[in-house]
Amino acid sequence: MIKAVTGTKDVLPSEIKNWYYVESLVKEIFTNFNYREIRTPIFEETSLFGRGIGEETDIVSKEMYTFVDRGNTSLTLKPEMTAAVVRAFIEHSLGAQQSINKLFYISQMFRQERPQAGRLRQFHQFGAEAIGSVSPFIDAEIIVIAYDILSKLGLKDLTVKINSLGTPAIREKYKTELKNYLSDKSDLLSQESKVRLEKNILRLFDSKSENDIAVMSNAPLLIDFLDEESLLHFNSVKVALVENSVPFEVDPKLVRGLDYYTHTAFEIISGKVGSQSALCGGGRYDNLIEELGGKPTPGVGFAAGIERILLAMENENVITKNYDVIDFYLIRIESDLESKAFELATLLRRNNYLVEMDYSNRSVKAQMREANRLNAKFTLWVGGDEYKDDSVMVKNMSGGEQSKISLKNFSSEIKKILEK
């Protein structure tokens, strides 16, 4: 039997309401903050991600689904949206139309990571990119939105962690300091960190190995190297978060796995999902647009993993059980009345009622069982004496009251019954 590919997951009809719930809340909150949706293709030219995310990052060096198409172009299934949104922003000159573009998305992403709870190879993110302003209030707005969405979904065990990564020049100076500090300690580091020492030194702070954590506990911190402008920006973001009731912790070791960040970086962590605890992450990227060939334009954004959020909701018991209910189940008493039942079902459906009927020529008893299984509010009985009288019978399944309604005035009489 062919099964779904490792690290991918079917969303079955029994789970779909949870997805609709998350997606509709996400859309509502983004809309209130005046973000508009952008959709970009599922694949891009491979070089976009190398240039955008950084060649030495894990995502680009190890995790991309890259293939050469029949035209000999190297393409990659998008591992994240920021580079793709920036590509579209530049390509369509969105910056020329308005000074700030506030964009949001909900889309699949692809990363060939080792699958585990909360970590998939095809997963879904919602997120936003606000392109065009250096204001620290836009950083704060992005964090407020991320926090509000997660809180409104009912999640409580949340920690917002923020840090400032300064400017690239500051980071280079800092990296030299960090290298000096680690120069006589590399023997103590894990194999993975030894490689990162050469290629992506900041990520040493992300290691889960106890030895690495011990070595890094006394390492110099980037936050102590920030210039005045970076500190002022960071401070304004923190004040805005306090004023807008977003609790947060400054985590000077928060570095993020993508290279494009400048100044603010943040993550929101759940205490309820195990080791893959980041529900969302983001930050400012003031040089990315220029690096991808656009005019120098600042930006800030975040993305959140929907599968992880659903897992957190399940573990915090905030997924309310879905009791699916239908408005009408049509019970056809005589088997030759199937076409009449279908006609009435269509009429009701066209009037926006959720309606089901039997298509398997089942007995009246079996149809009643089905009406109960589907939690029908009403059953509509087609046949019997009423039908000879050009009428049908409607039964309220909770109260048991029955009403005979004439087929001549079917729509208006149904309405009256429902209004009772």
Site of interaction with ligand HAM (CB under 6 A): 80-82, 111, 113, 118-120, 123, 125, 127, 129, 257-258, 278-283, 301-305, 307-308
Q: Which residue is nearest to ligand HAM (CB)?
A: 305
**C-beta of 119 vs 340, nearer to ligand HAM:** 119
* Minimum CB–partner distance for residue 60 and ligand HAM (Å): 12
* Minimum CB–partner distance for residue 276 and ligand HAM (Å): 7
* Minimum CB–partner distance for residue 83 and ligand HAM (Å): 8
Rounded CA separation 230/147 (Å) = 23
* Minimum CB–partner distance for residue 252 and ligand HAM (Å): 18
3-state class of 163 per DSSP?
strand
Q: Do 110 and 122 contact (CB within 8 A), yes or no?
A: yes
Distances 317 to 91, 172, 209, 276 between C-alpha atoms, Å: 44, 45, 31, 18
**C-beta of 145 vs 393, nearer to ligand HAM:** 145
Backbone angles phi, psi at 173, to 5 degrees: -60, -45
**C-beta of 298 vs 383, nearer to ligand HAM:** 298
∠ CA(133), CA(228), CA(167), 5° rounding?
A: 55
Question: What residue has token string 């049509």?
Answer: 330
Helix axes 16-32, 306-315, angle to 10 degrees: 110
* Minimum CB–partner distance for residue 288 and ligand HAM (Å): 9
**C-beta of 117 vs 250, nearer to ligand HAM:** 117
**Positive or negative CA dihedral for 43, 149, 9, 354?**
negative
* Minimum CB–partner distance for residue 260 and ligand HAM (Å): 8
Backbone angles phi, psi at 40, to 5 degrees: -120, 160
**C-beta of 104 vs 328, nearer to ligand HAM:** 104
**C-beta of 36 vs 416, nearer to ligand HAM:** 36
* Minimum CB–partner distance for residue 170 and ligand HAM (Å): 19
The 3 state secondary structure assigned to 80-112 is: CCHHHHHHHHHHCCHHHHCCCEEEEEEEEEECC
* Minimum CB–partner distance for residue 420 and ligand HAM (Å): 48
Q: Do 37 and 103 contact (CB within 8 A), yes or no?
A: yes
**C-beta of 120 vs 223, nearer to ligand HAM:** 120
* Length, in residues, of the chain: 420
For residue 206, what is the DSSP state?
G
Bridge partner residues of 265 (DSSP) = 163, 283
**C-beta of 63 vs 356, nearer to ligand HAM:** 63
